[in-house]
Amino acid sequence: MYTFESNYRVRYADVDQMGFMYYGNYAKLFEIGRVEALRNLGVRYKDLEESGIWMPVYENNSKYLEPAKYDELLIIRCMLKEMPKVRIVFDTEIINESSKIIHKGVTTLVFIKADTQKITVCPQVILDKLSPFYQ
pTM, two decimals, is 0.92
Cβ neighbour number for residue 16 with a 10 Å cutoff? 12
Residue 78 · residue 3 · CB < 8 Å: yes
Instruction: Please give the angle made by the CA atoms of 60, 63 and 69, to the nearest 5 degrees.
Output: 110
> CA-based angle 99:74:36, to the nearest 5?
120
The per-residue pLDDT for range 44-103, each reduced to its tens digit, is: 999 999 999 999 999 999 999 999 999 999 999 999 999 999 999 999 999 999 999 999
Give pLDDT, residue 44: 94
Question: pLDDT tens digits, residue range 5-26?
Answer: 999 999 999 999 999 999 999 9
Domains detected in the chain? 2-134 (3.10.129.10)
Q: 65, 76 in Cβ contact below 8 A?
A: no
